[in-house]
Structure 1
Amino acid sequence: MFALATDLSAQTRVPQISKTPAKALPAKALKVVSLDQCADQYVLGLVPRNQILALSDRARLHDSNFRDRAEHVRRIRPQLENLLALNPDVVVRTWGGDVNLIKALTDRHIKVLNINDIYSYDQAKPELLRIGQELDQAASAQIEARRFDQAMAAIRQVGKGRSVLYYTPTGYSAGPDTMVGDMLRRLGFRLETQDKGFFYLSPEVILSLKPDIFALGFYEDHYAMRRVPGRNPLVRARIASMPNFTLPVQMISCNGWFTAYDLAELSKSPLTGSGGLKAVP
Structure 2
Amino acid sequence: MPERPMRIVSLDYCADQYVLKLADREQILAISPDGVKSFSYMREVAKGVPTVRSIAEDVLVLKPDLVVRSYGGGPNAMAFFEGAGIPMLQVGWSSNLNPEGQGSIPAVIAQMAEGLGQAERGNALIAEFQTRLNTVQARRDKRSALYMTLAGVTSGPGSLIHEMLQAAGLTNFQEEAGWHSLPLERLAYEQPDIIAAAFFESAARSPDAWSASRHPIARRQLSNQAVIPLEGAWTACGGWFLMDAVEALAAGTEP
TM bracket (short chain): 0.7 to 0.9
Q: How far 1:156 moved relative to its partner?
A: 6.5
Give % identity: 28
Q: Give yes or no for contact 2:151–2:208 (8 Å, CA) kept in 1.
A: no
Q: Could you tell me how far apart the structure 2 residues matched to 1:257 and 1:119 are?
A: 12
- In structure 2, the partner of 1:254 is 237
Give SS of 1:99's match.
Answer: coil
Q: Could you tell me how far apart the structure 2 residues matched to 1:209 and 1:202 are?
A: 10
Alignment of 1:119-130 (within 5 A): 119-122=95-98, 123-130=104-111
Runs of 5+ in structure 1 lacking a partner? 1-25, 274-281
Q: Give yes or no for contact 1:32–1:52 (8 Å, CA) kept in 2.
A: yes
2:20 to 26, 40, 44: 44
Amino acid of the residue matched to residue 205 of structure 2?
Y
CA RMSD in angstroms, aligned pairs only: 2.3
User: With structure 2 as the length reference, what TM-score do the two structures score?
Assistant: 0.88
Kindly name which structure, 1 or 2, has the bigger radius of gyration based on alpha carbons: 1
User: With structure 1 as the length reference, what TM-score do the two structures score?
Assistant: 0.80
Runs of 5+ in structure 2 lacking a partner? 99-103
Give SS of 1:154's match.
Answer: helix
Q: Give yes or no for contact 2:3–2:117 (8 Å, CA) kept in 1.
A: no
* Distance 1:186-1:245 versus aligned 2 partners, 3 A rule: same
* 2:94 equivalent to 1:111: no
Cα deviation code 1:7-62 (max 9, x no counterpart): xxxxxxxxxxxxxxxxxxx9664321111111011101110000100011100011
Q: Give yes or no for contact 2:6–2:27 (8 Å, CA) kept in 1.
A: yes
* Distance 1:169-1:207 versus aligned 2 partners, 3 A rule: farther
* Distance 1:28-1:260 versus aligned 2 partners, 3 A rule: closer
- In structure 2, the partner of 1:95 is 71
Amino acid of the residue matched to residue 49 of structure 2?
V
Q: Give yes or no for contact 2:78–2:88 (8 Å, CA) kept in 1.
A: yes
Cα deviation code 1:173-222 (max 9, x no counterpart): 11121111111111110112321111123533332332112212222344
Q: Give yes or no for contact 1:128–1:141 (8 Å, CA) kept in 2.
A: yes
Q: Give yes or no for contact 2:169–2:250 (8 Å, CA) kept in 1.
A: no
Q: Could you tell me how far apart the structure 2 residues matched to 1:89 and 1:65 are?
A: 25
Give SS of 2:29's match.
Answer: strand
Which stretch shifts more, 96-105 or 170-179?
A: 96-105
Q: Could you tell me how far apart the structure 2 residues matched to 1:36 and 1:239 are?
A: 32
